[in-house]
Amino acid sequence: MVSKIEHNQRTSCPIACGLDVIGDHWSLLIVRDMLYLGRHEFSEFVSGEEGISTNILSDRLQKLKAQGIIDEVTHPHSKRRKLYFLTPKGRDLIHVLMAIGEWSLIHMPENAKMADKIESLLGGTKEEFVANVLRELDEWEAQYVIGAAPREAAHSAL
Amino acid sequence: MVSKIEHNQRTSCPIACGLDVIGDHWSLLIVRDMLYLGRHEFSEFVSGEEGISTNILSDRLQKLKAQGIIDEVTHPHSKRRKLYFLTPKGRDLIHVLMAIGEWSLIHMPENAKMADKIESLLGGTKEEFVANVLRELDEWEAQYVIGAAPREAAHSAL
DNA sequence: TTTTTAACTTGCATAATGCAAGTTAAAGGG
DNA sequence: CCCTTTAACTTGCATTATGCAAGTTAAAAA
């Protein structure tokens, strides 16, 4: 697979294509931060407990933006701060993250435990959980992202 | 995240835990080969169009086995050949692969196209597709893996 | 017995990562 | 206005992972 820098697909396989974009250790953790943990700023990602270093974070944010997975606006209170948020394409990664989380909880229960923040969102069914997460994002975006209309899930195919 | 060699968890987050095990470029492609493409031998993985090199393949097979995601038996026709197959834990990664594939087909349609082999398995609903894939694996295992009873999916939680 | 072949190793060059220490420009405070 | 702080990056450099080609080993085939 080699360099994710160039984002040149090696194969037309959907799985290989997807992995070329999100198949590294940090990208999906950043998406997780935005999706589940309410993080939106550079400093919030840095202070996550996995300890990403600033050069890698900077690099990944750039690549995720280039791929249309995230976007950014300047913080309303300060021009030197940025607020990152998921595009519809990025939001749809929730299904990938759910699958990974579910797999870990089932097959590595001794290691994996749910964060309190996430557990509190667990209302009932998986669908309700997804809806809760996306609604939270909508509310946040309505407040911070200018001109952001409530988004609808793109999901339907396959 | 650093070394996947030591498999030491950095976090109890299910997503981070999962990514520690399968969050590299090659592991999920190997699982894909076994799950969707009917590949079971070292040489078959090597000849895949993504072009994994033999040292990496050797390393990943070892790690996947150590994680209980795959297992191996010696080929019935030859003691120097091995047949690799997915454990129930490995099979359950089908949900992760489905999510990634689906995401790619929706959000990167210009790059991602389904393999013929996979397309032919697409009967109707997603559930039927999963069932078809798993049934194929059962049939293969019944033939090659001694003492392998038909497995049932572990999926239910979350 | 000699030659193939499958499945690995090994060595070495290149690329990606981690870590610490800058850098730059906006905010805030006096 | 000037000095300090801070957010978001860069840069340099050591460490680690990856890619590639060339072995190695032991079982099969000829």
- E strand or H helix at B83, and its extent? strand B82-86
Rounded CA–C1' distance between A18 and C22, in angstroms = 36
Q: Which residues contact B89 (CB under 8 A, 6 or more apart)?
A: A107, B67, B68, B69, B154
**Does residue B120 or residue A40 have the better pLDDT?**
A40
Which tens digit of pLDDT belongs to each residue from A3-26?
433 344 568 899 999 999 999 989
CB of A62 closer than 8 Å to CB of A81: no
- Could you read off the pLDDT of A119-128 as tens digits, one per residue? 777 768 899 9
- The strand ranges marked E within A30-148 are 70-74, 82-86
Taking the C1' atom of every nucleotide in all shown strands and the CA of A56, the nearest one is: C17
Cβ partners under 8 Å of residue A19, min gap 6:
A1, B25, B28, B29, B100
Q: Are A83 and A144 in contact (CB under 8 A)?
A: yes
Q: Which residues of B touch A101 (CB under 8 A)?
A: 14-15, 18, 158
- What the block records as the tokens of B113 is 């196209």
Helix-helix angle A14-22:A27-36, to 10 degrees: 80
Q: Are B64 and B90 in contact (CB under 8 A)?
A: yes
Task: Show which positions of strand C are touched by protein (CB under 7 A).
Answer: 5-11, 15-22, 25-28
Each residue's pLDDT tens digit, B112-126:
888 787 777 776 889
Q: Work out the average pLDDT over A121-140.
A: 89
Mutate to test the interface with B, among A103, A127, A132 (most CBs of B within 10 A): A103
Q: Does B153 touch chain A (CB under 8 A)?
A: no
Residues of chain B where predicted confidence (pLDDT) is lower than 50 = 1-8, 148-149, 156-158
Q: Percentage helix, strand, coil, to 5, in chain B?
A: 50, 5, 45
> What is residue B6's predicted lDDT score, i.e. its pLDDT?
38
Cβ atoms of B78 and B72 closer than 8 Å: no
Q: How far is A39 from chain B (nearest CA, A)?
A: 15
Task: Provide Rg for chain A, Cα atoms.
Answer: 16
pLDDT, residue B124, reads 82
* Cα distance between residue B80 and residue B86, in whole Å: 20
Mean pLDDT of all residues in chain A? 86
Q: How are beta strands B70-74 and A70-74 bridged, if at all?
A: unpaired
Q: By the CB < 8 Å criterion, does B158 face chain A? A: yes
Choose among A23, A32, A92: nearest Cβ to B15: A32
A52-92 pLDDT, tens digit each: 999 999 999 999 999 999 999 999 989 999 999 999 999 99
